[in-house]
Amino acid sequence: MEIILSKDASKSISVLQCCHISTNTDGFLIGHKRGNMYFVEKILPSPKGFFPSSKEYYAMRQTLDDKILGFYSFHTTESKIKKILAPFAYGKIFLRLDQDSRNQWVIKPFAIEHDKDFFLVPVALQSTR
C-alpha cells in the first residue's frame, strides 16, 4: 500500500507547516484510490477533531462524492487517533504531522486496519513535488 501526495496537496501541507499551527489543525484527504495506491489530490481543513458527529461526516462524504480517502492531523493526540479508529474509517488513510526534536515537520503515513480492534499500520508515502 502506498500514498501519493499530489503537488497541490503537498503545497497545502507545506503552507500549513509554515504557519503557526494550533493544536486544532485537522482535516480530510481528498482524492481517489486505484488498487493499493491512494492518490491524495487535495486537503480540506475540518473542525477540531475532524467532525462533530458521524451524521455530519456521512453528509460531508456524500457531498464530496465519496472522495474522502482519509484524515490528517497536526500535533496529533491519542483522542484524535481514537476517534478515527472506528468502522467508518476502515480502509482509509491517516497522515500524522508532528515536529521532531529539531522542530522539523515529519509526516507519518498510516492505513487504518482492523483485526478484532482497529489500529494504524505504517505505509509508504510519495510526494510529487
How far apart CA 40 and CA 9 sit, in angstroms, is: 7
Q: What is the tens place of the pLDDT at every residue in 17-56?
A: 777 565 568 889 999 999 999 999 999 888 766 776 778 8
CATH of the domain at 83: 3.40.140.10
Each residue of 53-91: pLDDT tens digit?
A: 778 888 888 888 889 999 999 878 888 899 899 998 999
For the chain, the domain total comes to: 1
Q: How far is CA 56 from the centre of its chain?
A: 17
Give which of 51, 70, 78, 73 is closest to 111, Cα–Cα. Answer: 70
- Give tens-digit pLDDT for 102-128: 877 889 999 999 999 999 999 999 876
45 within 8 A of 26, measured Cβ to Cβ: yes
How far is Cα 8 from Cα 82, in angstroms, rounded to an integer? 28
Cell 499530489 belongs to residue: 6
Tell me: pLDDT of 129 over 70: no
Q: Which amino acid is at 92?
A: K
> What is the extent of the structural domain holding 12?
2-127
Query: Would you state the cell numbers that stand for residue 32, as one nine-digit string?
Result: 481517489
